[in-house]
Amino acid sequence: MTTTKSKTLKLDYFGSIKAFFNLMKPRVMSLVIFTCAVGLLIAPAKISFVDAIFSLVAVALGSGAAGALNMWYESDLDSLMSRTCLRPIPTGKLTKNQALTFGIFSSLVSVIVLYIFSNLIAATILAITILFYVFVYTIWLKRKTPQNIVIGGAAGALPPIIGWAIATNGVSLEPIILFLIIFIWTPSHFWALSLYKTDDYKKAKIPMLPITSGIKTTKFNIFIYSIILFPTSVSPYFFNFSGLFYLASATILSGYYILISYKLLKEKSSTGEKKMASKLFGYSILYLFMIFVFVLIDKIV
């Protein structure tokens, strides 16, 4: 009896840890850590290994805190969408109050730890990132305008600037270029998702572009953003921020991005549109990851 009870307690304990971890949007958090780490590693100034690790952990915690606060505020929407209905709050694994408390506490800790192990500028940018994601994107824009992801995407684009600031105690052109790459990439990435998850967004009454302006307009906007992304992504070479290796790699990656976006634009059938949108969404994740990998490799080489 005692053994069974202890096993149940252990399961509840590990289940709670897993629930809080999922509350932090680990997939988003991993991309935040990676782009921040690239900004840190390519910066001209270097910091100690210990400071770097604790700084990245602080940024990860800040990202997770923003995700937790996002889930706290959007728990009603999450329960309506197939993509999000298994999140911790809709499934009853955590309460809204637990998510709110965890999000606020983690936000404060992340900013304080980053200030201790890096500097005031990096900590301030992290605080702005969290506040922007929660108040501007989640609370203000998400339910009100189809431009939610265009403006709100700024929060997800700031991590490389934070990484650079951790190392240099400042901001310069190089991390701003990396910011712009993510900022321009974000709309096409999320609009592709909204194309094959349109029913979810309709059910939750979120004004994503396919719902407010139609499928055709959304596909056209994706194509336009893919074209704008091309010069933005290759710009590090022309600002003497990277070499020919990066230029060639970014050109191939961006060219294929445009090709998939064009195929999506020309697709006529509903099934084909969803299939191509899903393909573009998957490729967009790989694209951003590889762009930052090649930035890092180019600097090392």
What is the span of the domain harbouring residue 253?
A: 172-301
- pTM more than 0.85: yes
Residues 118 and 230 in one domain: no
Where the chain has pLDDT below 70, the residues are 1-11, 13
Is residue 286 in some structural domain? yes
Fill in the amino acid letter for 247: L
Report how far residue 273's alpha carbon sits from residue 268's, in angstroms, rounded to the nearest whole number.
7
Residues 249 and 182 in one domain: yes
Q: Which two tokens stand for residue 65?
A: 């805190």
* SS3 assignment for the chain: CHHHHHHHHHHHHHHHHHHHHHHCCHHHHHHHHHHHHHHHHHCCCCCCHHHHHHHHHHHHHHHHHHHHHHHHHCHHHHCCCCCCCCCCCCCCCCCHHHHHHHHHHHHHHHHHHHHHHCCHHHHHHHHHHHHHHHHHHHHHHCCCCCCHHHHHHHHHHCHHHHHHHHHHCCCCHHHHHHHHHHHHHHHHHHHHHHHHCHHHHHHHCCCCHHHHCCHHHHHHHHHHHHHHHHHHHHHHHHCCCCCHHHHHHHHHHHHHHHHHHHHHHHCCCHHHHHHHHHHHHHHHHHHHHHHHHHHHHHHHC
Quote the pLDDT of residue 10: 53
Q: Which of 168, 189, 210 is the last residue of a domain?
A: 168
Report how far residue 88's alpha carbon sits from residue 94's, in angstroms, rounded to the nearest whole number.
6
Residues 176 and 190 in one domain: yes
Quote the pLDDT of residue 9: 44
Residues 241 and 265 in one domain: yes
Return the CATH number at 149: 1.10.357.140
Quote the pLDDT of residue 16: 84
Quote the pLDDT of residue 4: 53
Residues 143 and 187 in one domain: no
Q: Which two tokens stand for residue 138?
A: 């989640």
Give the C-alpha distances (Å, rounded to integers) separating 175 from 13, 92, 166, 208, 220: 41, 40, 12, 29, 29
Quote the pLDDT of residue 204: 87
Is residue 293 in some structural domain? yes
Is residue 8 in some structural domain? no
Is residue 4 in some structural domain? no
Direct distance between the N- and C-terminal alpha carbons of the chain, in angstroms, rounded to an integer:
62
Quote the pLDDT of residue 26: 95
Q: Which two tokens stand for residue 2?
A: 């005692």
Is residue 15 in some structural domain? no
Say how many domains are in the chain.
2
Is residue 195 in some structural domain? yes
Is residue 136 in some structural domain? yes
Report how far residue 124's alpha carbon sits from residue 83's, in angstroms, rounded to the nearest whole number.
33
Is residue 6 in some structural domain? no
Residue whose pair of structure tokens reads 């445009």 in the numeric block: 258
Q: Is the dihedral of CA 69, 70, 71, 75 positive or negative?
A: positive
Residues 102 and 238 in one domain: no
Residues whose CB is less than 8 angstroms from the CB of residue 105 and which lie 6 or more positions away in sequence, other chains included: 65
